[in-house]
Amino acid sequence: MVAPPVPESAQLPEELSDRHPEALLPTPTPLHLLDANGREVDSRLSMPEEDVLLDLYRRMVVGRRFDAQATALTKQGRLAVYPSSRGQEACEVGAVVALRPQDWLFPTYRDSVALVTRGVDPMETLTLLRGDWHLGYDPYEYRVAPQCTPLATNTLHAVGLAHAATVKGEDTVALVLLGDGATSEGDTHEALNFAAVWKSPVVFLVQNNGYAISVPLAKQTAAPSLAHKGIGYGMPSVLVDGNDAAAVHVVVREAVERAATGHGPTLIEALTYRIESHTNADDAQRYRDDAEVAAWLERDPIDRLERYLTARGLLGEDARAAITAEAEGLASRVRAGMNADVEVDPMSLFQHVYAQPTLQLRAQQQLLTDELLQEAE
């Protein structure tokens, strides 16, 4: 059996995939647009518009500054914990910029930069990590689900939300982010399957950063690539260079377009790397070499795009200065915000457990009220 050639475009008409299932397989090497030095390469993808590229660059710089600020705040004890996205900005920004206002984002704990890119207030993004409350923003305001900690569970929420959009006749696509480790959970499997069977408008973006905390990919899967899982659901899959913001952006944009036009879900695996430890509480030196980190620093997503834009004369001094100013402005707002102490009302413990507080919760609230009064005396 010789497999038919894969068509040039990811916009895969369904009939084709029926006749030639191998068309659902990813390419053997990741799709990309820029090499590590920011030079354009031959690709089946077409380069995004210049303003989009500049926007991606700007948002990556701002996102990284946010990330660095958050990391710094953990060292000062201002944040309980922070899982950094450093190194993964091409995925977070490239993907989110591909969303339309009516689309939804289903992020994980790792994806604070994606949230900021989506426009979530940076202080609201950090509410969870500062320990004030489980969530700081209104999901409906930004169309961003709560950052999800139980791994892979958000994949199903995304499918459900997208399917509901189909049922209601709304043009909404759900983009769900997950890590390489999360692909091992049963929920990922169920979500890919439901989405494929229902042809739901969902885009699954696996940020394969090589590790699940300390566990390297080789202990996570024996697959040729995580994208190779797609065909087992009848879902087209794409393998992309996750440090190439332009490529991630184009690939996600195509997938969003497929989803929005009724062609169903796409599985995208983006190869990237987390530069920091899993969180500030982790010590990555226990399980990986400095040399490995150094090699990935060479493939930095921001540098890469910066070189390209600079070489093409698209990134002048003024633009750089404006972006730096924006990033620093954000960082100082975050610093100021996080240095101000926030009081959280203990009574909020009892709110929103049910739509209406139960009698039992009212009694428990009274108990706490009495205790606090006593203490105050």
Partner 1 sequence: MTATLGAPPAAAPVTMASALNRALADALEADDRVLVFGEDVGTLGGVFRITDGLAARFGDRRVFDTPLAESGIVGTAIGMAMNGLLPVVEMQFDAFAYPAFEQVTSHLAKMRNRTRGAVGLPVVIRVPYGGGIGGVEHHCDSSEAYYTHTSGLRVVAPGTPGDAYDLLRAAIDCPDPVIFLEPKRRYWSKETTTLGAAPLPIDRAAVRRAGSDVTLIAYGGMLATALEAAEAAVEEGWDVEVVDLRTLAPFDDDTVAASVRRTGRAVVVHEAQRFGGYGAEVAARLTEQCFHHLAAPVLRVTGFDIPYPAPKLEEHHLPSVDRILDAVARLQWDDQVEPPRKGY
Ligand X SMILES: Cc1ncc(C[n+]2csc(CCOP(=O)(O)OP(=O)(O)O)c2C)c(N)n1
| Burial grade of 286 (CB within 10 A; 0-12, 13-18, 19 or more) | exposed
* 223 touching partner 1, by CB under 8 A: no
* 169 touching a copy of itself, by CB under 8 A: no
Specify the pairing of strand 211-212 against strand 215-216: antiparallel
* 106 touching ligand X, by CB under 6 A: no
Report DSSP state, residue 284: G
List the catalytic residue out of 65, 143, 258, 274. 274
CA distance 137 to 148: 14
CA distance 40 to 156: 37
* 126 touching a copy of itself, by CB under 8 A: no
Tokens of 91: 């995925």
Return the range that interacts with ligand X (CB under 6 A); candidates 24-32, 97-105, 206-214, 226-234.
206-214
* 24 touching a copy of itself, by CB under 8 A: yes
CB of 130 to partner 1, least distance (A): 8
* 119 touching partner 1, by CB under 8 A: no
Collapsing DSSP states into helix, strand and coil, what is residue 283? coil
> At residue 376, what are phi and psi to the nearest 5 degrees?
-65, -25
Which residues within the stretch 132-171 sit at the binding site for partner 1 (CB under 8 A)?
A: 132-135, 138-140, 145-146, 149-151, 153, 155-165, 167-168
Q: In terms of Cα–Cα distance, which of 259, 217, 220 is closest to 236?
A: 259
Phi-psi region of 342 (alpha: psi -120 to 50; beta: other; left: phi over 0): beta
Centre a 10 Å sphere on the Cβ of residue 26 and count the other Cβ atoms it contains. Answer: 25
Residue 278 annotated as catalytic: yes
Query: Hey, CA dihedral for 248, 250, 253, 255, is it positive or negative?
Result: negative
Residue number with CB closer to ligand X (179 or 265): 179
Report DSSP state, residue 144: B
List the catalytic residue out of 78, 86, 263, 278. 278
* 181 touching ligand X, by CB under 6 A: yes
* 150 touching ligand X, by CB under 6 A: yes
Which are the contacts of 21, defined by CB distance < 8 A and separation ≥ 6?
231, 234
* 209 touching partner 1, by CB under 8 A: no
CB of 2 to a copy of itself, least distance (A): 6
* 2 touching partner 1, by CB under 8 A: no
Of the residues 35, 121, 132, 190, which one makes contact with a copy of itself according to CB under 8 A: 190
* 40 touching partner 1, by CB under 8 A: no
CB of 228 to a copy of itself, least distance (A): 5
List the catalytic residue out of 287, 288, 320, 333. 287
Of the residues 92, 103, 180, 269, which one makes contact with ligand X according to CB under 6 A: 180
Q: In terms of Cα–Cα distance, which of 233, 317, 249, 267 is closest to 53?
A: 249
CB of 286 to a copy of itself, least distance (A): 21
Binding site for a copy of itself (CB under 8 A): 1-3, 5-6, 17-18, 21-22, 24-25, 27-28, 184-190, 193, 196-197, 199, 219-225, 228-235
Q: Catalogue the active-site residues.
A: 274, 278, 287
